[in-house]
Structure 1
Amino acid sequence: MNEILDTIVIGGGQAGLASGYHLQKKGLQYLILEASSQVGGSWPHYYDSLKLFSPAGYSSMPGMNFPGEQDRYPKRDEVVRYLQQYSTEFKLQIQTNQYVESVEKDEVGFTIHTRTGDIFQTRTIINATGSFNNPFIPNIASQDEFKGLTLHSSKYRNTEKFINQRVVVVGRGNSAVQIAAELAEVSRTSLAVLQPVQFVKQRVLGKDLHFWFKLIGFDKFPFWRFGTTAPNSSVVDDMDQYKERLAAGKPDQQTMFKSFYENGVIWPNGKNEPVDVVIYATGFRPELPYLRKIGALDTEGNPIHKAGISNVPGLYYVGMEGQRSFASATLRGVGSDAQFVVKKLMHYIEQ
């Protein structure tokens, strides 16, 4: 492209679409580059039974309410459809199958090279890719010796392949508990945790927890103004009697195993137990190698930023966990972060 755009958004998931909405409202010349063949980011790749941990009424993107009964908890496929409808409704400028391989910076702005060989020029960049493509798996002793199946929760889809097997799910967050609970219906399943799972009631005084978050302002409290990011909570929403299920041992909780052996795991008490499958529900880490050359990352590969504003002038982020508030990186939170970033971006362009 010979045209120099005001902004290029990298990533066509919820954060990228929210950014496009606010860029379009401000009349900026922008383009969203999505690596896959469809918008929606990581949502089409989550496990089949995934439900939002917030009701539809608290899960809307800017300018478009989440459809249907507002007190229900939408499923994965509903979110995928919503994001696709969102991009269509606002006629957002998107090019799919554009995997970004490198970014260069000069006095004018940025040059972006994609895997297809296309070249894009822009004054500013909003990186909105999330971290789903870089699942984190902890380093556990003798894991290479284990002959069973190991996989990250990002590769888990449903219970079909695990019927009547011995399964250990590593983790204590919402996804770990949700996956382990459904596996416990068809297999003998344990949650391996460093500390016991902590639950919070999904409904208080007849209202969903997110009603109270919004009422007291916690959901969007600006932690970044105090020199920190929002807390990365591992408290689990007890939306489907998960606390009751764990108390009944379906699944049970075990203190994290200390190592593998050929046929299974070794628990802290020294017991060797045969295990068929270990599933890591241990989260994700940022992976932005195309930004390293321009000095945007620290030594561990994490973006250097404050509230989504990079140390590299003209570079911004939307969709990072804890970026500006507890709600950042959620459907209900990316709109506010995108609006904030676009305001800062416009000021930069106008300088």
Structure 2
Amino acid sequence: MTSTSDSVVIIGAGQSGLAGAFAVRAAGMHPVLLEAGHRTVGSWPDYYDSLTLFSPARFSGFPGAPFPGDPDRYPSRDEVVAYLEKLALDLDAEIHLNTRATAVEASGDGFVVHTDSGQEFRSTRVISASGSFTNPFVPPIPGRFSGQLLHVADYRSPKQYAGQRVVVVGAGNSAIQVGYELAEVATVTLAVRRPVQFVPQVRGGRDMHYWLHTLRLDLLPPSVLRRLFRSTLVFDTGIYSNALTSGLLDQRPMFTAFEDDEVVWTDGSHEHVDTVIFATGYRPNLPYLKHLGALDSTGMPLHQRGISRTHQGLGYVGIEFQRSFSSNTLRGVSRDAQYVVRALSIARK
């Protein structure tokens, strides 16, 4: 069993785990990262091929580690992968790859983290930073669908959908980006609960993320966000909104049911569809905390701003809207990590 008095065990070594490790190191403690995969990049290599960040490079780096290259460009998926691998190389931390956490057990005044490799790690502080990409959310839809049904987590490129009738479910950035590129080769509809809410990518000659940063809107807590916005904001240079107004792609209220190879629209009409792609988000994937009693009945962590409400010394990094609008993004995750590490340090003194 591995144990040191100043160690903090971090489950996950993607962007959230690395942010946690930098915060732990800055606090004078020893980060021990347990990563189920073989690279320190989290889920980034598994996203669709054309994915680019919606925030410019200048607002997408970790503190003290700016994104390389033109600060006003929008980095690609593969650039993010390379950036995270470089961060890990520069990080003075103990990293265990191919080591999946299987259970966290309360023990004495701390925890024992069990892994599939048989190793056990003991610490008074544990940070869960394993992300949610492996737990895509698909809402229940009445009926059965005989066509192709997938989540955007399994989508890579538009090639195989050429000539098809495709419905993309969702009104967020991924739904719009995937729907737009599919519309070049297929007939595409966005099925939405509420109309897409566009925000200009550039305002006053500056990217919107400049204003989010300058006006501190990126720090708004979830309670305020829920009052201000009823749906996800989609940053747009004009190409996505033009695609809707021009008819390249359309949006309709969410269909009500499946029936064989058809969807049933809200007006009762039936339409044949080849493929339905759900861009409906993800949920935290925390099976290793199930028996600890740290989760609610739906598997969501019981926490307040990333600090466990059930176990002293347990924290979270990388949960959507954990503390703010930018919580689970490259530009915001470090703020959350620093907050959580400070809170855990004080709690265990």
Q: Please confirm whether the aligned pair reaches a TM-score higher than 0.5, indicating the same fold.
A: yes
Q: Is the 8 Å Cα contact of residues 308 and 317 (structure 1) preserved in structure 2?
A: yes
Amino acid at match of 1:33: L
Q: Is the 8 Å Cα contact of residues 264 and 274 (structure 1) preserved in structure 2?
A: yes
* Match in the other structure for 1:99: 100
- Partner residue of 1:243 out of 218, 241, 244: 241
User: TM-score, length-normalised on structure 1?
Assistant: 0.94
C-alpha distance in structure 2 between counterparts of 1:2 and 1:266, whole Å: 56
* Match in the other structure for 1:288: 286
* Match in the other structure for 2:347: 348
| Residues 258/301 of structure 1: CA separation in 2 closer, same or farther (3 Å cut) | same
C-alpha distance in structure 1 between counterparts of 2:207 and 2:249, whole Å: 25
C-alpha distance in structure 2 between counterparts of 1:231 and 1:129, whole Å: 28
**How many residue pairs align between the two structures?**
347
C-alpha distance in structure 1 between counterparts of 2:228 and 2:98, whole Å: 33
* Match in the other structure for 2:334: 335
Answer yes or no: is 1:207 the counterpart of 2:209: no
Q: Is the 8 Å Cα contact of residues 197 and 231 (structure 2) preserved in structure 1?
A: no
Shift of 1:88: 0.6
Shift of 1:348: 2.4
User: TM-score, length-normalised on structure 2?
Assistant: 0.95
- Give the 3-state SS of the residue equivalent to 2:73 in structure 1: coil
Shift of 1:239: 3.3
**For structure 2, which runs of at least 5 residues remain unmatched after alignment?**
none
| Residues 222/193 of structure 1: CA separation in 2 closer, same or farther (3 Å cut) | closer
C-alpha distance in structure 2 between counterparts of 1:239 and 1:92, whole Å: 40
Q: Is the 8 Å Cα contact of residues 328 and 337 (structure 1) preserved in structure 2?
A: yes
Shift of 1:248: 1.2
Give the superposed CA RMSD. Answer: 1.9
* Match in the other structure for 1:163: 162
Equivalences for 1:139-178 in 2 at 5 Å? 139-143=140-144, 146-178=145-177
Shift of 1:222: 4.6
* Match in the other structure for 1:20: 21
* Match in the other structure for 2:271: 273
Shift of 1:56: 0.4
Amino acid at match of 1:73: Y
Shift of 1:250: 1.7
Shift of 1:12: 0.7
* Match in the other structure for 1:255: 253
Equivalences for 1:30-179 in 2 at 5 Å? 30-143=31-144, 146-179=145-178
C-alpha distance in structure 1 between counterparts of 2:254 and 2:221, whole Å: 34
Q: Is the 8 Å Cα contact of residues 20 and 93 (structure 1) preserved in structure 2?
A: no
Shift of 1:223: 5.2
Shift of 1:90: 2.4
C-alpha distance in structure 2 between counterparts of 1:305 and 1:82, whole Å: 30
Greater mean alpha carbon deviation, residues 273-282 or residues 105-114: 105-114
Q: Which stretches of structure 1, 4 residues or more, deviate above 4 A after TM superposition? A: 228-233
Fraction of identical pairs, as percent: 47
* Match in the other structure for 1:198: 197
Deviations 1:160-202 (A, max 9, x none): 2111111110111110010000000011111111221110101
Q: Is the 8 Å Cα contact of residues 127 and 316 (structure 2) preserved in structure 1?
A: yes
Shift of 1:2: 4.1
C-alpha distance in structure 1 between counterparts of 2:82 and 2:95, whole Å: 16
Q: Is the 8 Å Cα contact of residues 4 and 123 (structure 1) preserved in structure 2?
A: no
| Residues 33/2 of structure 1: CA separation in 2 closer, same or farther (3 Å cut) | closer
C-alpha distance in structure 2 between counterparts of 1:79 and 1:294, whole Å: 34
C-alpha distance in structure 1 between counterparts of 2:209 and 2:189, whole Å: 29
| Residues 35/69 of structure 1: CA separation in 2 closer, same or farther (3 Å cut) | same
Amino acid at match of 2:148: L
Q: Is the 8 Å Cα contact of residues 30 and 93 (structure 2) preserved in structure 1?
A: no
**For structure 1, which runs of at least 5 residues remain unmatched after alignment?**
none
- Give the 3-state SS of the residue equivalent to 2:191 in structure 1: strand
| Residues 231/308 of structure 1: CA separation in 2 closer, same or farther (3 Å cut) | farther
Q: Is the 8 Å Cα contact of residues 194 and 231 (structure 2) preserved in structure 1?
A: no
